[in-house]
């Protein structure tokens, strides 16, 4: 973290815009027909391109100039200033980002055949040894908290019911894969990977190449619910730096940026070797049904219902929540009027102005060793007890919270606000007139994880909004004659 970080204003003012176009070869015009296949790391390290990759990373790590695309600092600044997290286009923006970074690897190395490898942690959950060897001069080595990411993995994005793509639609792939495994892999590895400066760690690029591959594997063979390229969804450009953009529609399919993958099979199981070593503490709480014990409720001061603006209202919450290496539940009592409103939203019969529900964590800060990562929390709403089984419990999972999510939400300030769409789960969890809701924060650890206090939450609340719970924007599906390509 010692390299100089450039904020967005300085990045825009001082970026060498003339080089933004001239440093890329002619194929940037997206007219190229050559498709390069990205291999898995274990295949890649035995290839002639491996030495070129090592040389390029060494040069880019040693270059401190954040305005020079031949430095990792440039790509870190791009990520800090422009990357969409927890909003639409998370996947597509990163596809263009990898395209540009891979082109820069070729420029720096002088090897036009160089491709970016991916790390398939669904087969090999332990960091490749080349990234953990502290030998002098190894450009892949950084001090990290963990090397095994098994506890970050989930098969939920690949469930057959996940057909939609866009964030804001029911059972959509993009928010599923960002919540797990994307964010938890950042959190469990820790160090720079647990921050928005994660592109300073070379494993970032292999991680995101794998996320891009998993998106493509999920979409095959017909694109599922990804809007077709003529949809308004793809209008406009993605920005990575001043004068460095890409049309959004170019990121619909990896072939449109000249890329494919050696293996496009989605994962169907977790790696068997992953249980080796010390198991995460949350697993020790599992009951006979395979589920995790619902954490005991903490004693937190209640916050009454109040208006949050013309279009939002808090139904109540709790204050002063401090998370540590233990899991905890937070009870939110509901007054009669708030309970009836929630019941109406859950049943789809509410005639009032509010249409959707969110669980909001406000004024969120990282504490002490919690900043280094090595852990995250699963966030559940009205989590069933362990007898229901893990699969049933996962239907009440709102998402995850860890240092990476907090860093992403707070990089323009000192605290973060995290919002979890909860309308679907409220419909599942609420019957009759509820007296309270319970939000459980279940701690998940890597093999190494911090002890003591890690995260402070100023307020946790149940919030209703006038926003529709799911996107109603029409999108144009691909014509029957068109293939996913």
Peptide bond into 221 cis (omega under 30): yes
Pairwise CA distance, residues 217 & 231, whole Å = 22
Q: Are 223 and 233 in contact (CB under 8 A)?
A: no
Per-residue pLDDT at 464 exceeds 80: yes
* Tokens found for residue 22: 């001239």
Indicate the SS3 state at residue 406: helix
89 phi-psi bin (left φ>0, alpha ψ -120 to 50, beta other):
left
- What is the maximal distance between C-alpha atoms in the chain? 69
Q: What is the DSSP string of 162-208?
A: --B-STTSTTBHHHHHIIIIIHHHHHHH-GGGGSTTGGGSTHHHHHH
Instruction: Report the pLDDT value the prediction gives residue 15, as an integer from 0 to 100.
Output: 43
Point out which residues pair with 332 in neighbouring strands. 437
Pairwise CA distance, residues 125 & 270, whole Å = 9
Q: What is the pLDDT of residues 407-435, one digit of tens each?
A: 999 876 678 999 999 999 999 988 888 99
Cα dihedral 94, 95, 96, 99 sign: positive
- Architecture label for domain 8-273: Orthogonal Bundle (1.10)
Instruction: Report the pLDDT value the prediction gives residue 282, as an integer from 0 to 100.
Output: 45
Instruction: Report the pLDDT value the prediction gives residue 475, as an integer from 0 to 100.
Output: 72
Pairwise CA distance, residues 400 & 103, whole Å = 33
Q: What is the pLDDT of residues 60-112, one digit of tens each?
A: 999 999 999 999 999 999 999 999 999 999 999 999 999 999 999 999 999 99
**Region of poorest pLDDT, from 78-92, 198-212, 331-345:** 331-345
Average pLDDT over residues 439-444: 98
Task: Determine whether 68 is exposed, middle or buried from the number of CB atoms within 10 Å of its CB (0-12, 13-18, 19+).
Answer: middle
Residue 102 has phi, psi (to 5 degrees) of -65, -40
Per-residue pLDDT at 453 exceeds 60: yes
For Cα atoms 421, 163, 228, give the angle at the middle one, nearest 5 degrees: 100
Pairwise CA distance, residues 267 & 158, whole Å = 7
Per-residue pLDDT at 27 exceeds 60: no
Class of domain 278-465: mainly beta
Q: Using 50, 70 and 90 to split pLDDT, how confident is the model at 485?
A: confident
Instruction: Report the pLDDT value the prediction gives residue 3, as an integer from 0 to 100.
Output: 43
Q: What is the pLDDT of residues 367-407, one digit of tens each?
A: 999 999 999 999 999 999 998 998 899 999 999 999 999 99
Extents of the domains making up the chain: 8-273, 278-465
Instruction: Report the pLDDT value the prediction gives residue 474, as an integer from 0 to 100.
Output: 67
Residue 480 has phi, psi (to 5 degrees) of -60, -30
Q: Are 104 and 73 in contact (CB under 8 A)?
A: no
Residue 162 has phi, psi (to 5 degrees) of -85, 95
Helix (H) or strand (E) holding 365: strand 356-366
Average pLDDT over residues 228-235: 95
* Tokens found for residue 157: 């994005």
Terminal C-alpha separation, the chain? 40
Indicate the SS3 state at residue 457: strand
**Region of poorest pLDDT, from 274-278, 347-351, 481-485:** 274-278
* Tokens found for residue 36: 């390069």
Per-residue pLDDT at 19 exceeds 50: no
Q: What is the pLDDT of residues 271-321, one digit of tens each?
A: 986 444 444 444 433 433 468 899 999 999 999 999 999 999 999 999 999
How many helices (H) and strands (E) in the chain?
Answer: 13, 14
Read off the DSSP letter of residue 78. H
Instruction: Report the pLDDT value the prediction gives residue 196, as an integer from 0 to 100.
Output: 96
Residue 359: how many CA atoms within 13 Å on its side-chain side? Answer: 27
* Tokens found for residue 320: 């002063």
Per-residue pLDDT at 48 exceeds 70: yes
Instruction: Report the pLDDT value the prediction gives residue 104, as an integer from 0 to 100.
Output: 98
Helix (H) or strand (E) holding 306: strand 306-309
Stronger pLDDT, 157 or 478, i.e. the higher one: 157
Per-residue pLDDT at 452 exceeds 80: yes
Q: Using 50, 70 and 90 to split pLDDT, how confident is the model at 470?
A: confident
Per-residue pLDDT at 334 exceeds 50: yes
Instruction: Please list, in sequence order, all residues whose beta carbon lies within 8 angstroms of the beta carbon of residue 2, skipping any fewer than 6 positions away.
Output: none
Percent of the chain topping pLDDT 70: 87
Average pLDDT over residues 331-349: 89
Instruction: Report the pLDDT value the prediction gives residue 272, as an integer from 0 to 100.
Output: 82
């Amino acid at each position: 973290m010692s390299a100089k970080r450039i904020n967005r204003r300085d990045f825009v003012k001082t970026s060498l815009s003339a080089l933004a176009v001239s440093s890329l070869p002619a194929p940037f015009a997206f007219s190229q027909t050559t498709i390069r296949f990205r291999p898995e790391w274990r295949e890649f390290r035995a290839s002639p391109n491996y030495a070129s990759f090592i040389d390029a990373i060494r040069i880019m790590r040693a270059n401190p100039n954040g305005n020079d695309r031949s430095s990792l600092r440039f790509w870190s600044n791009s990520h800090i200033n422009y990357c969409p997290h927890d909003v639409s286009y998370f996947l597509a923006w990163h596809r263009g980002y990898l395209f540009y970074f891979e082109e820069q690897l070729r420029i720096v190395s002088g090897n036009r055949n160089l491709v970016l490898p991916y790390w398939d942690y669904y087969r090999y959950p332990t960091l490749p040894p080349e990234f953990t060897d502290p030998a002098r001069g190894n450009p892949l080595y950084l001090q990290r908290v963990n090397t095994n990411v098994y506890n970050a993995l989930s098969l939920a994005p690949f469930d057959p019911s996940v057909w939609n793509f866009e964030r804001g639609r029911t059972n959509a792939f993009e928010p599923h894969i960002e919540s797990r495994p994307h964010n938890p892999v950042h959190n469990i590895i820790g160090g720079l990977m647990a921050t928005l400066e994660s592109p300073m760690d070379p494993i970032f690029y292999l991680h995101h190449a794998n996320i891009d591959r998993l998106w493509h594997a999920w979409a095959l063979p017909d694109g599922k619910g990804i809007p077709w390229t003529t949809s308004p969804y793809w209008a406009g450009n993605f920005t990575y730096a001043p004068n460095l953009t890409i049309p959004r529609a170019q990121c619909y399919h990896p072939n449109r940026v000249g890329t494919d993958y050696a293996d496009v099979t989605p994962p169907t199981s977790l790696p068997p070797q992953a249980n080796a070593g010390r198991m995460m503490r949350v697993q020790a709480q599992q009951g006979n049904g395979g589920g995790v014990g619902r954490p005991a409720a903490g004693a937190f001061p209640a916050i009454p219902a109040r208006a949050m603006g013309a279009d939002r209202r808090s139904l109540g919450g709790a204050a002063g929540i401090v998370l540590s290496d233990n899991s905890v539940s937070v009870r939110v009592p509901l007054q009669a009027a708030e309970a009836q409103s929630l019941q109406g939203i859950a049943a789809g019969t509410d005639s009032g102005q509010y249409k959707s529900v969110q669980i909001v964590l406000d004024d969120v800060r990282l504490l002490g060793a919690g900043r280094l990562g090595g852990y995250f929390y699963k966030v559940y709403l009205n989590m069933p007890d362990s007898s229901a089984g893990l699969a049933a419990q996962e239907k009440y999972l709102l998402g995850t919270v860890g240092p990476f999510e907090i860093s992403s939400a707070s990089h323009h300030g000192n605290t973060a606000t995290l919002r979890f769409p909860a309308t679907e789960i409220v419909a599942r969890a609420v019957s009759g007139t509820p007296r309270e809701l319970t939000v459980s924060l279940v701690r998940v650890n890597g093999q190494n994880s911090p002890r003591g206090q890690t995260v402070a939450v100023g307020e946790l609340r149940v919030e209703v909004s006038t926003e529709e719970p799911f996107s109603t924007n029409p999108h144009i599906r691909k014509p029957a004659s068109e293939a996913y390509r």
